[in-house]
C-alpha cells in the first residue's frame, strides 16, 4: 500500500507565490506542421491557434493544440541559426517549457530568482487588441524552462500573436487534463532537483521511491514527487540507479543529451474508450505480458472495469488506500527513446502506479534491449 507520505516538515505545502496550474506545455520540434497532424489524428487534439510569419512572428511557427484542459504548443524554427533549431539539434523533439499560470509574473520571477533560480527572460509585457499578458521565464533541469504567465484581464483565447484556427479533422480521445509531468535527471541529481522545487517554489516532497521499489532485474531508478499546495502541479523527478545493466533513465539522458521531460501523464474520462480510439489511430503502447492479469484477477472485485477488456487493451491497475488508478504508457513518440505519454484514469487512487513499476519497466526494458541500449 502506498500513502501520500509527507517527507518534509519545514515550509510544508506553502507555495511561495500564487500558482493557478499549468498554463500550457511547449515542445520544440523539427516540423511543427507534421507534429500537429500526429497530435490531431493520433491523440485526438484540435488545432485551435497558430502563430508564425502570417501573424507577424518571423522566426518560428507554433501550433496550439488542445483537448479538454490540455494545451500543447508545437513550435519549430524557420532558420538554422535559431535557438529553437539548436534545441532540436541537441535534444530531438522535446519539451522546452512547462508554463505555469500565476497571479503575478513579476513576483514569481523575483521570488524564484532571489531564491536561486536562473533567470532566462525578465518580466515582459506583450499586447494585442485583447489586452496585455505579462510573462517571465526561469530555468529548471537541463534546457527545460518554466514560464510564468500572468493573464490579468487579457480577453484573448490564448496568448498575443496567436490567431484562432478552426479544426474539423480530429475526433477527441477523451483526454481531460495533465495529471503530472515527469523529469529525468542525471546520476545523483534527483536530490538537488527536488530541493530546487522545494526551495525556489515552496513545493512539498510527498512521495519517494528508491531503487528497492523501482528495480527490475536491470533498469533501476529512484524517484521523488514534488507538488504545489493544491497538488494541481505534480512533478515526479527520476534519476538512474545501479542495476545489472543500463538504467532506462540513463538511456533517456544519453539520447536526450541531458536532463529533460520523460513523460506527460494525461487523465482520461474513460480510459477504455481513450485507448481503444488511440490504438485504432495507430498510437503504439508498451506491451505488458498477459500473466500480469492473472494477479489482477484476484482483486477484480475491487474494480469496476472488466479484466478481459483491460487485458485486451493492455491497461494496468494500481491500488492504494484511497482507491485505484488505471494507466498505460505509450512508446516514445519520436525516434530517440526519450519523451512518451502516459494515459491514466483515477478512481480515487492517488498513486503514480508504484505497484505497476515492475511490469511497466520490464516492458520498457524489452524495448530498450531491442534498441541495443540495455
Ligand atoms: Fe507517470
Which has more pLDDT, 367 or 80? 80
Average pLDDT in the 90-110 region? 98
Has residue 210 got a pLDDT over 80? no
Query: Do 225 and 362 sit in the same domain of this protein?
Result: yes
Query: Do 23 and 65 sit in the same domain of this protein?
Result: yes
Q: Is 10 exposed, middle or buried (0-12, 13-18, 19+ CB in 10 A)?
A: exposed
Query: Do 146 and 213 sit in the same domain of this protein?
Result: no
Could you tell me the distance, in angstroms and rounded to a whole number, from the CA of residue 83 to the centre of ligand 1?
29
- Is 170 a domain residue? no
Could you tell me the distance, in angstroms and rounded to a whole number, from the CA of residue 189 to the centre of ligand 1?
19
Residues 67, 115: contact at Cβ < 8 Å? no
Could you tell me the distance, in angstroms and rounded to a whole number, from the CA of residue 342 to the centre of ligand 1?
6
Average pLDDT in the 287-315 region? 88
- Is 169 a domain residue? no
**Residue 341, strand partner residues:** 264
Query: Do 118 and 238 sit in the same domain of this protein?
Result: no
Could you tell me the distance, in angstroms and rounded to a whole number, from the CA of residue 123 to the centre of ligand 1?
32
Quote the pLDDT of residue 285.
Answer: 96
pTM confidence score: 0.93
Quote the pLDDT of residue 215.
Answer: 60
Has residue 8 got a pLDDT over 60? no
DSSP string, 223-268: EEEEE-TTSSSEEEEEEE---SS--HHHHHHHHHTS-EEEEEEEEE
| In the block, residue with C-alpha cell 502541479 | 233
Quote the pLDDT of residue 278.
Answer: 98
- Strand, helix or coil at 355? helix
Which has more pLDDT, 32 or 369? 32
Q: Write the pLDDT tens digit of every residue in 13-55.
A: 688 999 999 999 999 999 999 999 999 999 999 999 999 999 9
Could you tell me the distance, in angstroms and rounded to a whole number, from the CA of residue 260 to the centre of ligand 1?
14
Quote the pLDDT of residue 243.
Answer: 79
| In the block, residue with C-alpha cell 536562473 | 118
Max Cα-Cα span within the chain: 60
Q: Write the pLDDT tens digit of every residue in 245-274.
A: 788 899 999 999 999 999 999 999 999 999
Could you tell me the distance, in angstroms and rounded to a whole number, from the CA of residue 361 to the centre of ligand 1?
12
Query: Do 25 and 84 sit in the same domain of this protein?
Result: yes
Query: Which phi and psi angles does 28 have, rounded to 5°?
Result: -95, 125
DSSP state of 281: T
Using 50, 70 and 90 to split pLDDT, how confident is the model at 73?
very high
Task: Write the CB contacts of 34 (distance below 8 Å, at least 6 apart in sequence).
Answer: none
Query: Do 150 and 246 sit in the same domain of this protein?
Result: no
Could you tell me the distance, in angstroms and rounded to a whole number, from the CA of residue 126 to the centre of ligand 1?
34
Has residue 7 got a pLDDT over 60? no
- For the beta sheet containing 60-67, the strands, ordered from the edge strand earlier in sequence to the opposite edge, are 119-128, 131-139, 145-150, 94-102, 19-28, 70-77, 60-67, 46-51, 163-164
Task: Write the CB contacts of 304 (distance below 8 Å, at least 6 apart in sequence).
Answer: 347
Query: Do 207 and 248 sit in the same domain of this protein?
Result: yes
Residue 85 sits at the vertex; the CA angle it makes with 79 and 87, to the nearest 5 degrees, is 160
Could you tell me the distance, in angstroms and rounded to a whole number, from the CA of residue 290 to the centre of ligand 1?
21
- Is 210 a domain residue? yes
Which has more pLDDT, 4 or 303? 303
Could you tell me the distance, in angstroms and rounded to a whole number, from the CA of residue 39 to the centre of ligand 1?
19
Q: Write the pLDDT tens digit of every residue in 187-202.
A: 999 999 999 999 999 9
- Is 137 a domain residue? yes
Q: Write the pLDDT tens digit of every residue in 116-150.
A: 999 999 999 999 999 999 999 999 999 999 999 99
Residues 52, 291: contact at Cβ < 8 Å? no
Average pLDDT in the 59-88 region? 98
| Number of C-beta neighbours around residue 371 at 10 A | 12
Residues 286, 342: contact at Cβ < 8 Å? no
- Percentage of the chain lying above the pLDDT 70 cut: 93
pLDDT, mean over the chain: 91
What's the total number of domains in the chain?
Answer: 2
Range of the domain at 145: 4-164
Could you tell me the distance, in angstroms and rounded to a whole number, from the CA of residue 263 to the centre of ligand 1?
7
Query: Do 155 and 184 sit in the same domain of this protein?
Result: no
CATH number at residue 65: 3.10.180.10
- Percentage of the chain lying above the pLDDT 90 cut: 74
Could you tell me the distance, in angstroms and rounded to a whole number, from the CA of residue 352 to the centre of ligand 1?
6
Query: Do 157 and 179 sit in the same domain of this protein?
Result: no
Has residue 361 got a pLDDT over 90? no
Residues with CB under 5 A from ligand 1 (ion): 265, 342
Reading the block at residue 214, the C-alpha cell is: 523501482
Query: Do 126 and 245 sit in the same domain of this protein?
Result: no
Amino acid at each position: 500500500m502506498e500513502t501520500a507520505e509527507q517527507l518534509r516538515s519545514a515550509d510544508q505545502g506553502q507555495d511561495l507565490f500564487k500558482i493557478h496550474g499549468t498554463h500550457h506545455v511547449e515542445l520544440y520540434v523539427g516540423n511543427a506542421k507534421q507534429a500537429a497532424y500526429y497530435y490531431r489524428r493520433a491523440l485526438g487534439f484540435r488545432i485551435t491557434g497558430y502563430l508564425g510569419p502570417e501573424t507577424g512572428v518571423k522566426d518560428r511557427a507554433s501550433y496550439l493544440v488542445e483537448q479538454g484542459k490540455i494545451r500543447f504548443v508545437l513550435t519549430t524554427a524557420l532558420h538554422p541559426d535559431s535557438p529553437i533549431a539548436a534545441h532540436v539539434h541537441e535534444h530531438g523533439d522535446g519539451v522546452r517549457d512547462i508554463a505555469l499560470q500565476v497571479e503575478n509574473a513579476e513576483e514569481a520571477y523575483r521570488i524564484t530568482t532571489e531564491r536561486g533560480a536562473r533567470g532566462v527572460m525578465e518580466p515582459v509585457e506583450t499586447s494585442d487588441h485583447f489586452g496585455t499578458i505579462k510573462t517571465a521565464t526561469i530555468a529548471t533541469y537541463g534546457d527545460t524552462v518554466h514560464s510564468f504567465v500572468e493573464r490579468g484581464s487579457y480577453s484573448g483565447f490564448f496568448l498575443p500573436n496567436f490567431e484562432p484556427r478552426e479544426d474539423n479533422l480530429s475526433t477527441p480521445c477523451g483526454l481531460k487534463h495533465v495529471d503530472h509531468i515527469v523529469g529525468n535527471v542525471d546520476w545523483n541529481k534527483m536530490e538537488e532537483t527536488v530541493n530546487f522545487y522545494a526551495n525556489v517554489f515552496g513545493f512539498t516532497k510527498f512521495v519517494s521511491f528508491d531503487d528497492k521499489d523501482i528495480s527490475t532485474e536491470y533498469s533501476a531508478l529512484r524517484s521523488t514527487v514534488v507538488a504545489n499546495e493544491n497538488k494541481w502541479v505534480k512533478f515526479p523527478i527520476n534519476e538512474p540507479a545501479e542495476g545489472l545493466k543500463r538504467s532506462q533513465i540513463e538511456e533517456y539522458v544519453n539520447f536526450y543529451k541531458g536532463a529533460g521531460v520523460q513523460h506527460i501523464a494525461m487523465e482520461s474520462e474513460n480510459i477504455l474508450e481513450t485507448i481503444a480510439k488511440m490504438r485504432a489511430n495507430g498510437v503504439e503502447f508498451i506491451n505488458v505480458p498477459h500473466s500480469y492479469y492473472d494477479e489482477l484477477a484476484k482483486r477484480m472485485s475491487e474494480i469496476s472495469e472488466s479484466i478481459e477488456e483491460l487485458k485486451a487493451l493492455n491497461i494496468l491497475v494500481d491500488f492504494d488506500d484511497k482507491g485505484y488508478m488505471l494507466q498505460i504508457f505509450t512508446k516514445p513518440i519520436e525516434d530517440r527513446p526519450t519523451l512518451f505519454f502516459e494515459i491514466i484514469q483515477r478512481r480515487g487512487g492517488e498513486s503514480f502506479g508504484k505497484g505497476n513499476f515492475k511490469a511497466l519497466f520490464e516492458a520498457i526494458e524489452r524495448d530498450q534491449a531491442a534498441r541495443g541500449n540495455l
